[in-house]
Amino acid sequence: MASGNAWRVLGTGEGDGVILACDYATAARPEAQFSHFVTHLTPARTVWETAMPKPGTESGWRAEDYLDWWTAPLRASGVRVDAVLGFCAGSVFAAGVAREVARQQSQPVPLVVLEPELPGALALYDHYHRAVELFAPVLDRSAVDGMQEAGQELLARDGDLQVFGPALAGLYERVADDAMAKIGLNAGRRAELIAVFTSFINWVVAAGPIDPAPEWAGAVCVSAKGDIDPSIALGRLITVDVDHDRMLADPGVVRTVVDALDQGVRP
């Protein structure tokens, strides 16, 4: 089975089917990722994770562009999708992928979402806040505070994700470029690192218009301590006593997901 550029192969098991995992994976983030998740799968299963286009090339992409990027290769290869997983905001894209896979396979596909989160401006600002905090060891505290205050001002000015996201990307490009120049990074390296974060912002903004409700209503949700927005309707909620950042690396969580898939997610 060929995954193409749109999917990253995380694990290989027996059989022809694959499990798709939707997330924005990057070495810079603190949370565990699906690459940790697959190490606890017993028996091993074939897992493909959403891969992103080269940072910078996706500028301006909308939800349908990302979904086509991922699902067109599935359609072309004819691979059988056995389940779709999503983590955090990736759970929104997981709903969109599951919807298209169900159309391609003419039947619903099991969906499990872990810590599902609807994209929002406040959550996106939190990612920005943490990203610029990484400069704290090499810049004056006042400089880092200024970056964070500038982001807060943007958020206060307009909390619409579709407005705030692009504005935040522009702000990050400016402040991060200046900060990286001060610590001696050359222009090429600065542009490369900045593009990774602005690519993440674009991914979150693109997820905003997707309505995951129809798919989430039939999904299993695995949540750390059950801390889920009560407005989100889910098929079945399973609460685990695991920190959010370690969810995808916890063997018990992996067993919970596998059990849900083996028992059948949908009624």
Position 4 confidence tier, pLDDT thresholds 50, 70, 90: low
Residues 40 and 111 in one domain: yes
Q: Is residue 1 part of a domain?
A: no
Position 267 confidence tier, pLDDT thresholds 50, 70, 90: very low
Whole-angstrom distance, CA of residue 40 vs CA of residue 76: 30
CB 175 within 8 A of CB 147: yes
Range of the domain at 99: 7-118+210-263
Residues 14 and 54 in one domain: yes
Whole-angstrom distance, CA of residue 47 vs CA of residue 9: 6
Range of weakest confidence among 41-45, 61-65, 71-75, 252-256? 41-45
CB 161 within 8 A of CB 119: yes
CATH number of 71's domain: 3.40.50.1820
Residues 32 and 140 in one domain: no
CB 244: neighbour CB atoms within 10 A?
17
Residues 96 and 219 in one domain: yes
Residues 97 and 178 in one domain: no
Examine the pLDDT at 3 and tell me if it is beyond 70: no
Q: What is the pLDDT of residues 132-179, one digit of tens each?
A: 999 999 899 999 999 999 999 999 999 999 999 999 999 999 999 999
Residues 130 and 93 in one domain: no
Position 263 confidence tier, pLDDT thresholds 50, 70, 90: confident
CB 263: neighbour CB atoms within 10 A?
9
The total number of structural domains in the chain stands at 2
Residues 195 and 232 in one domain: no
3-state secondary structure of 13: coil
State residue 37's pLDDT score. Answer: 97
Residues 176 and 233 in one domain: no
- Across the strands, what pairs with 222? 114, 238
State residue 146's pLDDT score. Answer: 96
Q: Is residue 194 part of a domain?
A: yes
Quote the mean pLDDT of the chain. 92
Q: Among positive and negative, which fits the CA dihedral 225, 88, 24, 69?
A: positive
- Burial of residue 109, with CB atoms counted within 10 A of its CB: 0-12 exposed, 13-18 middle, 19 or more buried: buried
Q: Is residue 43 part of a domain?
A: yes
1 vs 136, more confident: 136
Could you tell me the pTM of the whole model? 0.92
Residues 111 and 217 in one domain: yes
- Across the strands, what pairs with 81? 18
Whole-angstrom distance, CA of residue 248 vs CA of residue 123: 20
Range of weakest confidence among 13-17, 113-117, 124-128, 171-175? 13-17
Position 231 confidence tier, pLDDT thresholds 50, 70, 90: confident
Residue with tokens 């943007």: 154
Q: Is residue 58 part of a domain?
A: yes
Last residue of a domain, one of 186, 207, 228: 207
Q: What is the pLDDT of residues 79-96, one digit of tens each?
A: 999 999 999 999 999 999
Q: Is residue 40 part of a domain?
A: yes
Q: Is residue 147 part of a domain?
A: yes
Residues 254 and 184 in one domain: no
Q: Is residue 189 part of a domain?
A: yes
Residues 104 and 225 in one domain: yes
State residue 227's pLDDT score. Answer: 66
Q: Is residue 2 part of a domain?
A: no
Residues 179 and 223 in one domain: no
- Tokens representing residue 30 in the block: 């603190």
State residue 266's pLDDT score. Answer: 45
